[in-house]
Amino acid sequence: MKYVSGREYGDEVAHRHEGELAPTAPVNKHIQHYRAVNETSLRHALWVGMPVGLALGLAQTGTLSFALLAIPLVLVAVIAGVQIFRHRPKLIQAEITEFKSGDFTAWQMWAPFLPALGWIVVIPLDALGISGLQTPPLLTGLFSGLLLGTGLSFGWFGALSRTFRIGKRRIRKITENQSLDGVTQSRMEAVESHGDILGALIAVGAVDGNKIPIKTLCMLLKVDQENMEAVRSRVEDLQADGIVKISGQGLYRDSKMWEVTVTPDGIHNLAQIGQR
């Protein structure tokens, strides 16, 4: 195979909601499309989570007038929830077979221990007698509601986009050395021809070992059962070029249950196309 030279990589995965491989990568539009099909947006999560959090905060004040304010907030959350239900996101996430260095940020590693910081703050306040000060019920309800609503919204959104973000970090790790190893003209042509499949795989985080079954991939692509064989054939063509890897093949195993992941060589070729 003839290897292709090219310009240096830029930021292979920009810190943007779309998770682009490069600003001009053709696969970006597919990633954006299938993320929209698969996930609930942060905006929708906020429209549900914030009203629910504020409603719970006001209801806990013990004041009837404030508790009644929770009713319209709950109605807002219900209306937003109906909109999400009508959209019916697929909510597909890749199977994480193993965790690798860089899958989680330092913030995410320390997050489980953050509640312990509350004691560090509360103990001095108790000692100074400040914690016993009375605060207006409305202020208390709004503050606790905002905290709860923010936690619900970002927790929900984060959980649904978890494997995509892990896949994005793996892409960054793969391409950080700006290597052109494995980049060939035939592979670049293959990733351009099958951008929809690769975009769908990246959108759910099926990168560098994380995988989804072909049947699940077809659900995301909105391909009916009659056309699943065509998708399987395209995935096999990508494997022949080293762009994806299929696992779980067996003599008596249905090909629809074969599992697919984008390989590092596939990522290198996708990133290089975005730099042409």
Instruction: Judge whether residue 274 has pLDDT over 60.
Output: yes
Domain count for the chain, please give it.
Answer: 2
pLDDT over 70 percentage in the chain:
80
The pLDDT assigned to 110 comes to: 67
Q: Which residue, of 145, 160, 175, is where some domain finishes? A: 160
- Domain identity same for 253 and 187: yes
pLDDT category of residue 78 using cuts at 50, 70 and 90: very high
Q: Is there a single domain that holds both residue 55 and residue 34?
A: no
pLDDT value at residue 237: 94
91 lies in the same domain as 151? yes
Residue 106 covered by a domain: no
Q: Examine residue 228 and state whether it is found in any structural domain, yes or no.
A: yes
Of 160, 175, 195, the last residue of a domain is 160
> Do 179 and 145 sit in the same domain of this protein?
no
| Predicted pLDDT at 12 | 34
* Mean pLDDT (whole number) for 247-258: 82
Query: Which of 26 and 89 is assigned the larger pLDDT?
Result: 89
Q: Is 33 exposed, middle or buried (0-12, 13-18, 19+ CB in 10 A)?
A: middle
Sequence letter at residue 218: C
- Round to whole Å and give the CA distance between 245 and 234: 12
Give a yes or no: residue 267 inside a domain.
yes
Length of the chain, please? 276
Q: Pseudo-torsion of CA 48, 52, 53, 57, nearest 10°?
A: 160
153/203 same-domain check:
no
Task: Average the pLDDT over 79-83 and give the result.
Answer: 92
Average pLDDT, the chain: 82
260 pLDDT higher than 70: yes
* 154 shares a domain with 204: no
Comparing 44-48, 128-132, 185-189, the range with the smallest average pLDDT is 128-132
**What average pLDDT does this structure show over 196-222?**
94
Q: Span 184-189, mean pLDDT? A: 89
Domain of 90, in residue numbers: 42-98+135-160
- In this structure, are 77 and 186 located in the same domain? no
Q: Distance of alpha carbon 213 from its chain centroid, rounded?
A: 18
Residue 51 is assigned to a structural domain of this protein: yes
pLDDT higher at 62 or 18: 62
pLDDT attached to residue 8:
33
Q: What's the pLDDT tens digit per position in 104-162?
A: 777 766 666 666 665 566 566 566 665 555 778 888 888 889 989 998 999 899 888 99
Residue 64 belongs to some domain of the structure: yes
pLDDT band at 19 (very low <50, low <70, confident <90, very high): very low
Helix locations, the chain, DSSP H: 28-38, 42-59, 64-68, 70-87, 106-110, 115-128, 137-160, 162-175, 185-193, 195-203, 214-221, 228-240, 264-273
Residues 148 and 49 in one domain: yes
Does a structural domain hold residue 11? Answer: no
Tell me: do 151 and 224 sit in the same domain. Answer: no
Do residues 74 and 146 share a domain?
yes
Across 166-179, average pLDDT: 86
Is the residue at 67 inside a domain?
yes
Calculate mean pLDDT across residues 10-22: 41
Q: Coil, strand or helix: which one is 212?
A: strand
Residue 217, classed as helix, strand or coil, is helix
Judge if 141 and 240 occupy the same domain: no
Structure confidence at residue 11 (pLDDT): 37
Q: Which of 263, 159, 258, 245 is nearest to 207 (CA)?
A: 263
SS3 125: helix
Are 212 and 263 members of one domain?
yes
Model pLDDT, residue 50: 94
As a three-state string, the secondary structure of 51-102 is: HHHHHHHHHCCCCHHHHHCHHHHHHHHHHHHHHHHHHCCCCCCCECCCCCCC
Distance CA 215, CA 256 (A): 5
Closest listed residue to residue 142, CA positions, set 75, 262, 60 = 60
pLDDT computed for residue 95 by the predictor:
92
CATH (domain of 187): 1.10.10
Q: Which two tokens stand for residue 8?
A: 């240096």
Check if the beta carbon of residue 186 is closer than 8 Å to that of residue 89: no
On whether residue 7 sits in a domain, the answer given is: no
- Hey, is 256 helix, strand or coil? helix
pLDDT at 16 over 50: no
- In the prediction, which pLDDT does 253 show? 78
End of a domain among 160, 177, 212? 160
